[in-house]
Amino acid sequence: MMSFAETSSFFQIIQEFNNCIQLQYNGELKINNVNGKVYTFYYRLGRIVWATGGEHPFRRWRRQMEQYCPQIDIAQVRSQFMDLSIDYWDYHILETLYSQQKINRETVNSITENTINELLFDLIQEAKHGEIHYERQQQIILDSPMSFTNVQMALQEMQQLWQAWSAAGLAKFSPNLAPRAISF
């Protein structure tokens, strides 16, 4: 297993994503901020096949499942298949549901792309506001990926969304924030 770590800025992280494409990288790219929040991108042949981590991973998974798999009982799935000992528990659940023919390939692709896009957007926001660190670990974790994402297109789309978010005066606010009740 080969490992590589570095501290970076936004543009260096974009370059690292591009390096992974050019190298047809297999393995994981872990990116964390100074507060310890971790984003993990899983690669196969230079394409992202899954991403996890960031802010509220369970909420994100639940939201995706409710949107694309309303027929699935989330509580039952969670109790049967959720193994928090693995970093990619969310992918494991999708893989299990797909193999049991409870969801189809199109649903898996939609959930995968939306999850990756959300994490890329959050990562762009993190990188714009502070130092982040990344580390590559070259080992194949997801043997038979169910979906492949075009990283360059996803990054370009997320940068455009970030620019619109920023232009709206929301650069300091995360879309992951939730209102908090104030008691007097």
| 164-182 burial: b if 16+ Cβ within 10 Å, else e | ebeeeeeeeebeeeeeeee
Distance CA 20, CA 29 (A): 9
**In the 8-state DSSP scheme, what is residue 25?**
-
Q: What is the mean pLDDT of the chain?
A: 80
Statement: the pTM of the whole predicted model exceeds 0.85: no
Assign 6 a pLDDT band (cuts: 50, 70, 90).
Answer: very low
Sketch the domain layout of the chain as residue ranges.
2-167
Cβ contacts of 178 within 8 Å, gap of 6 or more = none
Q: Decide if 133 contacts 31 (C-beta within 8 A).
A: yes
Please tell me which residue, 63 or 139, carries the higher pLDDT value: 63
> Average of pLDDT values for 121-138?
82
| pLDDT tens for each residue of 81-91 | 666 667 888 88
> Average of pLDDT values for 130-139?
82
Q: Decide if 94 contacts 61 (C-beta within 8 A).
A: no
> Average of pLDDT values for 94-109?
90
Strands 132-138 and 47-53: unpaired
> Average of pLDDT values for 163-173?
77
| C-alpha angle 7-13-18 in degrees, rounded to nearest 5 | 135
> Average of pLDDT values for 105-109?
90
Query: Residue 35's pLDDT is what?
Result: 81
Q: Decide if 50 contacts 145 (C-beta within 8 A).
A: yes
| pLDDT tens for each residue of 34-81 | 888 899 999 888 888 899 998 888 888 889 999 999 998 888 777 676
Distance CA 55, CA 36 (A): 11
Query: Residue 163's pLDDT is what?
Result: 78
Q: Which of 25-29, 138-142, 148-152 has the highest mean pLDDT?
A: 25-29
